[in-house]
A = this chain, B = another copy of it.
Amino acid sequence: MNISMYQASAPRFANTLKNLSAILDKAEAYAQMRKIDPLVLTSARLYPDMFALARQVQIATDHAKGSLARLAGVEPPKYEDTETTFDELEARIQKTLAYVKTFKPEQIDGTEGKEIVLTFGTQKFPFNGQTYLIQFALPNFYFHTSMAYAILRHNGVEIGKRDFMGGV
């Protein structure tokens, strides 16, 4: 039986993005209640040279759309990375969720052995579909969604791990 590539990817991205969307809703409500400029939160970071909240959300969604597209062998949609407001970030999450949902198991299952080479600068990182998904795409995705959570937690938004995990 084993784990299917589809089960290990699309539903996980979808579930965590939904949770991220709910976390951003809480952050927006918190800004409103405390009369904080929402842009203070979307541009917040944990250290001066770290990516801000908005960028963390952009990168997390990029990993979701990019990895499914790479595995399926299709071109992912390009996003402009111009989001600064909560509404814009929510829209980005929603369009990523809609894109994730277009993938059918038969497009992703069976891609374990597919050659996927990532290039950063002059360095090439060769993966197969399985190592790409479980060693690169998922840890990156969880890292950036966790950073978004951490930035908001640090700024006083009342969220707990249950918000990140979605009920468990």
Contact = CB atoms under 8 A, between A and B. Distances in A.
Contacts of A165: 136, 139-140, 143
Nearest to A112: B1
Dominant secondary structure of chain A at its interface with chain B:
helix
B2 A156 contact: no
Contacts of A50: 153
Contact of A143 (B7, B156, B164): B164
Contacts of A150: 46, 146-147, 150, 154
A147 B138 CA distance: 16
A46 B143 contact: no
A53 to B, nearest CB: 12
B142 A139 contact: yes
A16 B146 CA distance: 15
A154 B12 CA distance: 28
B46 A46 contact: yes
A130 B46 contact: no
A9 to B, nearest CB: 9
Given A46-B153, A150-B46, A168-B136, A3 B143 contact: no
A156 B47 contact: yes
A1 B55 CA distance: 36
Contacts of A136: 165, 168
